[in-house]
Amino acid sequence: MKQKKLRVGILFGGRSAEHEVSLQSAKNIIEAIDKDKYDPVLIGIDKSGKWHLQEKSQFLLNETNPKLIALNRSSSSVTLSPWHSENNLKNIGGGHISSHIDVVFPVLHGPYGEDGTIQGLLKLAGIPFIGASVLGSAIGMDKDVMKRLLLEARIPVTKFLVFTERDRKFLTFESLKQSVGIPFFVKPANLGSSVGVWKVSSGDQFAKARDDAFSYDTKILVEQYIKGLEIECSVLGNEDPIVSVAGEVVPTKDFYSYDAKYVDQDAAKLVCPADLEPKTLKKIQDMALRAYKTLCCEGMARVDFFVTKYDTVFVNEINTIPGFTKISMYPKLWQESGIGYTELIDRLITLAIERYEKEQKLNTTRNT
């Protein structure tokens, strides 16, 4: 008897500044998912937050151009209906959609997708989902909280300072220069893909960087610049995660910017696997697993490092929904480690269902 296909909701787009990155990631996941085992259901979220049930053949506009790629919004607006086991995907604007989602892959980067908000919705809806749960997602999104937890676990991070909106008028280039040296980085606390990130060497640059970072978040970080290798590791698993080989990012421009990650394929060179001494690689891999567990991650994450010429290793950040574009490091590292794109998606789905089934056995009411 032929086994029934699992219906996998691919949730992509979203309201964050990383909307276009999400579209690219979703496109590659949809192309790579095993169609003999899974029936992908495409749910695109536009920039206003509206959910659309998408046709597989025409869900993107300008799909081959990272600069112009856009969601081709459909007329079918949908929402998830909590705990409706038969039809948990509902039409909002009339008509009838009879659709069931078995598991969701939130291919959403940044706020409203990677920060615990969508994970909370999916938990309330009673639907298994790929990646970290509410707590791990929220921690991974907030670089301030993330770094403080890593420090508590004695995992080295670069020197950083945190400022809120009310600190803005007191921030000066000279005071920051004395605290962290120059150049230094300015970035929003809750964003990714190098959006709003500036490498600052002058007062004029700082004023622009400060204002740009605050345009994305009410909290910003100023971080020490570390001269060294930019190394990344992929992690996969729930209670017993595994770690990939390491890869090196070699920017051909000033730093690993948004364009270098997702638009300009010549702006950075990805060396996979990285040319590291075995003891340094082991140190990085062990630290990646420690960071993953410390930050309450599940399913998947990519851990980014700086490695100095003296083999001192610092964790830069963790990404709980890493990019899945054609030039993204997370799937590339697993491919180099012996797990291809299609198998990787299969494992992630299995991990999501395993976690969900384990959670369903927990008591939600007090025993009497």
- Asked if residue 271 lies in contact with residue 339, where contact means CB atoms within 8 angstroms, the answer is no
Angstrom distances, CA of residue 109 to CA of 22, 179, 190, 271: 6, 31, 11, 24
Domain boundaries, the chain: 6-129, 140-156+227-357, 160-224
| Rounded (10°) CA dihedral 150, 321, 352, 326 | -130
Amino acid at 196: G
319 CB contacts (<8 Å, ≥6 apart)? 114, 140, 192, 301, 302, 303, 304, 330
- Strand partners of residue 40: 8
Residue 158 CB neighbour total at 10 angstroms: 18
In Å, how far are 256, 327, 331, 337, 343 from 268, measured between CA atoms?
Answer: 7, 10, 17, 21, 27
Supply the Cα-derived Rg of the chain in whole angstroms: 21
pLDDT in tens, 128-179: 999 999 999 999 999 999 999 999 999 999 999 999 999 988 899 999 999 9
In this structure, are residues 193 and 18 in contact, taking their beta carbons and an 8 Å threshold? yes
One of 3.40.605.10, 3.40.50.150, 3.30.1490.20, 2.60.40.10 is the CATH number of 160-224, namely 3.30.1490.20
Integer Cα distance of 143 and 160 in angstroms: 10
How many Å apart are CA 189 and CA 221, to the nearest integer?
6
Model confidence over 246-266: pLDDT tens digits? Answer: 999 998 766 544 555 545 566
Q: Taking the model in full, what pTM does it have? A: 0.90
Confidence (pLDDT) at 227:
92
What residue ranges of the chain have pLDDT lower than 50?
Answer: 256-257, 262
**Ramachandran quadrant class, 49 (left: phi over 0; alpha: psi -120 to 50; beta: rest):** left
Q: How far apart are CA 92 and CA 90, in angstroms?
A: 6
Ramachandran category for residue 228: left, alpha or beta (phi over 0 → left; psi -120 to 50 → alpha): left
**Model pLDDT, residue 257:** 47
Structure tokens at 285: 């891999």
CA distance 182 to 186: 11
pLDDT at 129: 97
Q: Can you tell me the distance from the alpha carbon of 136 to that of 237, in angstroms, rounded to the nearest whole number?
A: 13
What residue spans of the chain are helical by DSSP H?
19-32, 117-125, 134-141, 143-152, 173-180, 203-216, 258-262, 278-294, 329-336, 341-360
Among 231, 244, 233, which Cα is nearest to 312's? 231
CA-based nearest residue to 85, from 43, 120, 127: 127
Same fold, 140-156+227-357 and 160-224: no
Round to whole Å and give the CA distance between 192 and 138: 13
The reply to whether CATH 3.30.470.20 applies to domain 140-156+227-357 is yes
CA distance 87 to 63: 31
Q: Which two tokens stand for residue 50?
A: 């509206």
C-alpha closest to that of 47 among 12, 94, 81: 12
Pick the CATH number of 6-129 from 3.80.30.20, 3.40.50.20, 3.40.50.720, 2.60.40.10: 3.40.50.20
| Cα-to-chain-centroid distance, residue 248 | 18
* Distance between CA atoms of residues 302 and 280, nearest Å: 18
Give the whole-angstrom CA distance, residue 40 versus residue 46.
Answer: 19
- Rounded distance between C-alpha atoms, residue 166 and residue 146, angstroms: 22
